[in-house]
Amino acid sequence: MKINFDCIVIGAGHAGAEAAHAAATIGAKTLLVTISRDTIAKASCNPAIGGIAKGQIVREIDALGGIMALATDATGLQFRMLNRSKGAAVRSPRAQIDKYKYSDFVRDLLEKTPNLTIAEALVAEILVENNCTRGVRCTDGRIFLRRL
């Protein structure tokens, strides 16, 4: 089985989910390969979104039309501003999220995104032709190719 895509994203963690969403949103026929739909955008045991470093990145992702801030707003349990007693340069928002609802929210959003296909598979090999990435071969025998 060979299917052609404009963009293939391997892994559906936070970065993979954002990358697949961004590519599909600009009109690229996009494939997101994940081992399990249940682990799309899975949060850690201490599910915090924000903080001094990550808070800046979340704001930038949001400004570019990303999904992390949307999912945080929808699934947040507690929102606070860190370092209120310090200068403005080190103040930063942080939210504690419901990690299960967060993952469900992102998965649902991705499943409804036009131009995006989600495949449950384990990538065994990245296919390369003439020093260019051509696609992926999965352990179940499926081959997904990138359009040239």
- CA 43 – CA 41 distance, rounded (Å): 6
97-148 pLDDT, tens digit per residue, is: 999 999 999 999 999 999 999 999 999 999 999 999 999 999 999 999 998 8
Kindly report the CA angle at 21 between 17 and 26, in degrees rounded to 5?
155
CATH (domain of 131):
3.50.50.60
Q: How confident is the model at residue 53 (pLDDT cuts 50, 70, 90)?
A: confident
Q: What is the pLDDT of residue 35?
A: 97
Q: What is the pLDDT of residue 1?
A: 56
For the chain, the domain total comes to 1
Q: Count of CB atoms within 10 A of residue 32's CB?
A: 26
Please give the residue range of the domain that contains residue 102: 2-146
* Of 9, 21, 13, 41, nearest in space to 115 by CA: 21
Q: How confident is the model at residue 69 (pLDDT cuts 50, 70, 90)?
A: very high
Cβ–Cβ under 8 Å, residues 4 and 146: yes
